[in-house]
Structure 1
């Protein structure tokens, strides 16, 4: 739309001067008690918010499209816009309209994007709201991310695109900042689009090394970025610089609560790719994307929002350092064994508000008196928390005790300044304590006595005039006045000055009443102004303690997360795992932590596990569907992960050798948006595992090769077993390819296990128990019957199965080859093959055969071989 700005009204000219600086944002322009939006912004906002689009005179021939929202309820509208990925700029009146000469001065005071929301009411208290930035060069990628409501700021770098994507998926940012003009990798951009994550291009200059160093040195008040550890993180340095510049520009306040940058390498934590996070359902379920049914749902027994966020972070970042893991486990052990300590601490922490986000409200200027009381009440609990853990030296207690600051001076200051139950809005006044400020007390005395004085004047004038219904009233136009009914007007003294005539009364003023008015109203205005000033000073004083408050919040969050570990461990009968640096995993009577809670009225059948990189390295697990193979696989992975986050585990006993990564290949579905079939997705996940697994990894495979033909699938699965066995990677492989059980004894480290099943005529009973050996059938027809497939279909399936089994390779081998042990020692090279058999094999054209022809040919070869 082309607009002739020379014809605009002065106010609309001011609007466009501001709008020109924020073209990518919807500009909410403050006009009195409303935030107004004009022209294209109005059209876009009215559609997004589903509010009426109107129009306003703007100086042009056509009126300007207009929509507006009340200032007192603007936060709800902002959230709806931001949830739709729309960025908002808040333009406030910077002076009192009553005192302004000409157009009221206005400025943008807040920019709100998905990653820069600061109002806790607009956020999920149990989740961080991260904003991330990505930088990249020929050597790799840098990633920085920050929660501006808590001050958490982290950065890392990596050489591979897949690792970058895994980190982005882990932190789930609501917004990602990239250098303007740089092309983001298609895979990463596709994920960001599918996850509704806002991508914002920002000045490329801000991501350059010189600019990044400058902003970091200035904000953290250091001479060199090397002092913060950036000498080993040159690409991450640029990601941090770009992110800090963007956040500083949008926040428009000093970032006082961001006091440190946590630089970490991929070697600090267990690597969990997107498939593993999804398949193990760590924080949400695969299907419904809900917390209930996830591992987090089971473990999260936190009492504070800070603790909930900390626990989720720990769950997504299992530790690799044995000392760190042991310290957490020792703390949990003390809490599990000391019921009174655990109970007392949980009771205390339930009284602690979200200190991290209260601090952010302080920084961004949105803290109100009720927030200040929440801070004070939280600080009151801290001495008791410290007293509870005083003298505890096991695990993390000593560190937590040290980092919880009593902050008694801050608590005392707030207590002396703010009334215990302040009003919801500051404009109502009355939130500063009596006795806190002498000038305020004097003004309040004037107001209090003023009411008394007015009552005295009213009584005296009634007695003097004899008008019994005379009364003193007030309105904003005339101030205080004397009101006399029409029937008594004749008795009004000549000294009364008439100001207003009503249908049933007359209103008057007197010099004495106006003098009182000046005293009373002047005092009320001064009280409101002074209370605002005193509260502003209070915030500045509290701001000086922002660093110890943040450290305290972090320590309380860690304590709360450890308490959650201990509470679920105590409730559900978990045990302390022994952490080792060996390559074995020993679990006695392990259980699935989620399944046993979902079906808590049923008896969960526990199972043992012994894995290492040598003789017991690769489990081939067979058995029918629904028997519990997938549950067993996942429970081993979850128990390992729980141990490495420092939590007790659902087992009778567990020794966990630290694993660097957990890989999972569980099920698959078509990714049509990427043009990938089920089999392509399956092979992509498999490739990721084979290319990145190490001898210290744990691999969970639930079916391989099922998405293609039987022979192709079996070939791939067989080859995978050999490849991973060669790498000595601990692997659990559930499969329906019973042919793979032949590998036990042929490939080092491979062991056969099966799910025990009890047969009763045509029915089966799943015993849910893992036992040595391979399954000799899949019980597919019986499972179909259990699932409710119609009886005629079941009967026909049995007939077809009987015919197919005639040519089944394994069954014919069983008939001809004898026992399992005989086949294990079976070696073609130990027999002399006669010339006729050799020539027959030479003539076989495998590529031209159908599967049935291949089976028959193989049967012929076996028969000839047997007769030798």
Structure 2
């Protein structure tokens, strides 16, 4: 059944005077097609207008074939088809993450060694981009690095040996099932995991350019070779397609050089998926993603889930962002040029994958991809011209890859075979004309004859339409549908209440419109299809030879795709910098953020976000954050983690000043579920994540923990939280620990590197008003004062008065007992002295690092300042101790006097 959204009108129908004539001309390429090509070629001089060229089948408006008694119209008034938006320009934001969202569809194979150590080999193959990533990891018992790689690529299917699931699942398979519930685990025969066959596959399919370094080290990676053999065999068997020799880009990835972010942390921080709406818009990826190409979106997502740890590389990218933001004209020219690009990786795949059984459809696709490549090469040239020669080494490299002489060679080869005027068409009939007349005339005599037959048959269809108009007095539109071919349409008004003539068959009514065909038209469509089949088959030999020449240098396209992805991601960072108040991050051994803001909430919140400062050095690696519920503790923890990730992917950050310590692992325990019914499962998850954090935290880790111990009893939770805190304090990792356990703010101060912070809030005690809390969302020094916020909130919920009063009495009594025990503690004095001395040591280390650029007099002055500061602190501690001592003696005398009196 023909539908309105799947039709295109014939491009050459016209109306002249009282007699309607419309036919395809007799020259090699139909005149209307040439006119469209000329207009498109003119438009391509502008990068923005070039985005109008596309390669899609879309609906076109109809072309009237009018009756003699109907008023004639302009010969061009009805010849404009509806324009569809180019895929590359459909949106200024390309989505990412997961299979299908950004064009990725990974199949992975995972195999584990049988020795005592957990050594895992993996192979990932993107079925749409034909990129193959190899990994071999000496992992821990929790398989953290393996899970990170799986989470990074999110494969739709994971191949494992049958021995790993039979008779029971192995530990690795169970962990994968728990962590990757969306992926399908497919057991295949253990013999498919053959490292010898895997090495043969790599040698057979790897592109020659740059293969020497990979082939030098890969033969000893037996497990990833075995996984490679399984993936390649599975793809050939399941997709009925094979790769051409020396056409695949293999990459071996090592785990060093990137930050480890486990699956739970990526989920808790909403890096690529929002927890509430299950989309990628209100996430870190969503707010940073201003990429214009699918390649750029994929690279951005990969970087967010796997940030860099090499400072030199990060600084080089930051230099690029800064340079690209200096010249506004170049920035907008680059964005306009990138909009015209389709997915280059998918284009490469279409060249290197061939079906095991050739067909007419495959011949059509061969012509399509050559035309697509012609458009892509033109777009790459436009991007290179817009970029120009920059000063930064990375930008120079990108420009060199986009101006590779082999790309120019591809253009010359295409121009020898394909008509120069051919561009990407958008309508269904336009695409069919494009495929039919793409190859130059004269390359094959029989091909020219077949195309002449095609043109004559198209003209015959228009003659048939004119005859029906004259015979039945009905205005007809000749329309085209991919499934039905050409057919007719009219409106009920044209019939004037009469029945549809019997010559018209397969009549379909939709609203006030009618669509139908005739037996004569069906025969004409069959003849056109036969002619097109001959055209495609005869064009296939010419286009296949051209494709073979291109495949021999396919490495140039791989590199150009990588260059475009990097440039697109950097331009996305530039865009964020230009529209927001972001600053360039620095990298030192101290975490310092002045007026930092949460990058996601700042974008989606309707009210102004309140910024906060952050400082964490060697003297205060463990920071306890307290405050009432809804005061912003969890937001602050996420803010610190997200800004660290942004800095290490070379993005500017939302702050007035930012200095970061390079982190090699980000660990988190953040509660996202406050449902009482799930307390048991919440506590189990909490303990699993906590055990993982304690096991893996090092002095180069960043740890954020929110309300540890809340899932069990108060005393058990407090004990667990205290023990975990002590372990993390000794690890010297940067830890931000939010808690409601006020006891931790006093007991943990025995360690000199512990700092108490709190989110400010004020009690509302105005007479005549219901008690409440005013949240300030500002971070302040010290622990939160015991203001009994919970009691105030309970009163606002209209609890009975006697219950509220009794609760307040018990709470105040317990608070007095705790405060009394704290005042009499001798450990506070020792802790205060240790903290003052630790601060002196930290200041001396900073002075030592800066001593090279200081004069002798300046160094002496700096040391003198440190000394005087330490003396003032120690004297203040002593005065405080003396004051407490006098207060204690006075209290003892009063107590003794009271006893004597009694």
Taking structure 2 as the reference length, what is the TM-score of the superposition?
0.65
| 2:255 alignment partner in structure 1 | 266
Do the aligned partners of 1:668 and 1:682 also contact (CA within 8 Å) in 2? no
Q: 1:162 aligns with which of 133, 140, 143?
A: 143
CA displacement, residues 38-76 of structure 1 (integer Å, 9 cap, x when unaligned): xxxxxxxxxxxxxxxxxxxxxxxxxxxxxxxxxxxxxxx
- The alpha-carbon deviation at position 648 of structure 1 amounts to 0.9
Alignment of 1:107-118 (within 5 A): none
Do the aligned partners of 2:268 and 2:672 also contact (CA within 8 Å) in 1? no
Query: What is the rounded CA distance, in whole Å, between the counterparts of 1:178 and 1:441 in structure 2?
Result: 50
CA displacement, residues 315-341 of structure 1 (integer Å, 9 cap, x when unaligned): 111011111111111111112333222
Counterparts in 2 of 1:736 and 1:864: CA distance versus 1, 3 Å: farther
Do the aligned partners of 1:450 and 1:520 also contact (CA within 8 Å) in 2? no
Query: What is the rounded CA distance, in whole Å, between the counterparts of 1:371 and 1:359 in structure 2?
Result: 9
- The alpha-carbon deviation at position 555 of structure 1 amounts to 0.8
Q: 1:150 aligns with which of 124, 129, 142?
A: 129
Alignment of 1:238-637 (within 5 A): 238-251=226-239, 252-255=241-244, 259-365=248-354, 367=365, 369-394=367-392, 396-405=394-403, 407-414=407-414, 417=418, 419-420=422-423, 424=428, 430-435=436-441, 437=443, 439=445, 442-443=448-449, 447=453, 527=535, 529-580=537-588, 582=589, 584-599=590-605, 601-612=606-617, 614-637=618-641
2:160 aligned with 1:178, yes or no? yes
SS at structure 2 position matched to 1:337: coil
Do the aligned partners of 1:667 and 1:703 also contact (CA within 8 Å) in 2? yes
- The alpha-carbon deviation at position 718 of structure 1 amounts to 1.5
CA displacement, residues 133-183 of structure 1 (integer Å, 9 cap, x when unaligned): 111111321111121321322122222242223322232110111223333
| 2:509 alignment partner in structure 1 | none
- The alpha-carbon deviation at position 197 of structure 1 amounts to 1.6
SS at structure 2 position matched to 1:713: helix
Query: What is the rounded CA distance, in whole Å, between the counterparts of 1:819 and 1:603 in structure 2?
Result: 45
Higher relative contact order (CA 8 A, sep 6+): 2
Query: What is the rounded CA distance, in whole Å, between the counterparts of 1:690 and 1:445 in structure 2?
Result: 72
- The alpha-carbon deviation at position 700 of structure 1 amounts to 0.1
Q: 1:203 aligns with which of 161, 178, 189?
A: 189
SS at structure 2 position matched to 1:627: coil
- The alpha-carbon deviation at position 221 of structure 1 amounts to 7.9
Alignment of 1:15-94 (within 5 A): none
| 2:511 alignment partner in structure 1 | none
- The alpha-carbon deviation at position 347 of structure 1 amounts to 0.9
CA displacement, residues 377-427 of structure 1 (integer Å, 9 cap, x when unaligned): 221122232233332132521221222245233234445515335674887
CA displacement, residues 205-249 of structure 1 (integer Å, 9 cap, x when unaligned): 232333333333333389999734225633222222322333344
Counterparts in 2 of 1:771 and 1:202: CA distance versus 1, 3 Å: same
2:199 aligned with 1:216, yes or no? no
Query: What is the rounded CA distance, in whole Å, between the counterparts of 2:571 and 2:297 in structure 1?
Result: 11
Do the aligned partners of 1:577 and 1:653 also contact (CA within 8 Å) in 2? yes
Alignment of 1:87-126 (within 5 A): 124-126=100-102
| 2:74 alignment partner in structure 1 | none
Do the aligned partners of 1:130 and 1:171 also contact (CA within 8 Å) in 2? yes
Counterparts in 2 of 1:637 and 1:524: CA distance versus 1, 3 Å: closer
- The alpha-carbon deviation at position 682 of structure 1 amounts to 0.8
2:109 aligned with 1:133, yes or no? yes
Q: 2:649 aligns with which of 645, 648, 662?
A: 645
Alignment of 1:828-867 (within 5 A): none
| 1:662 alignment partner in structure 2 | 666
Q: 1:776 aligns with which of 779, 785, 791?
A: 785
Do the aligned partners of 2:760 and 2:777 also contact (CA within 8 Å) in 1? yes
Do the aligned partners of 1:624 and 1:783 also contact (CA within 8 Å) in 2? no
- The alpha-carbon deviation at position 587 of structure 1 amounts to 0.9
Query: What is the rounded CA distance, in whole Å, between the counterparts of 1:865 and 1:435 in structure 2?
Result: 115
| 1:832 alignment partner in structure 2 | none
Query: What is the rounded CA distance, in whole Å, between the counterparts of 1:540 and 1:439 in structure 2?
Result: 23
Query: What is the rounded CA distance, in whole Å, between the counterparts of 2:593 and 2:718 in structure 1?
Result: 30
2:700 aligned with 1:696, yes or no? yes
SS at structure 1 position matched to 2:275: coil
SS at structure 2 position matched to 1:181: helix
Do the aligned partners of 2:133 and 2:250 also contact (CA within 8 Å) in 1? yes
State how many pairs are aligned.
Answer: 645
Counterparts in 2 of 1:442 and 1:733: CA distance versus 1, 3 Å: closer
Do the aligned partners of 2:109 and 2:122 also contact (CA within 8 Å) in 1? yes
SS at structure 2 position matched to 1:767: strand
| 2:72 alignment partner in structure 1 | none
Do the aligned partners of 1:177 and 1:243 also contact (CA within 8 Å) in 2? yes
- The alpha-carbon deviation at position 125 of structure 1 amounts to 5.0
- The alpha-carbon deviation at position 800 of structure 1 amounts to 3.2
Do the aligned partners of 1:328 and 1:395 also contact (CA within 8 Å) in 2? no
Query: What is the rounded CA distance, in whole Å, between the counterparts of 1:136 and 1:431 in structure 2?
Result: 54
| 1:26 alignment partner in structure 2 | none
The runs of 5 or more residues in structure 2 that have no matched partner are: 1-95, 355-361, 465-501, 504-526, 766-770, 832-890, 897-902
2:769 aligned with 1:757, yes or no? no
Counterparts in 2 of 1:664 and 1:797: CA distance versus 1, 3 Å: farther
The runs of 5 or more residues in structure 1 that have no matched partner are: 1-119, 459-501, 504-518, 828-862
Taking structure 1 as the reference length, what is the TM-score of the superposition?
0.68
Do the aligned partners of 2:99 and 2:154 also contact (CA within 8 Å) in 1? no
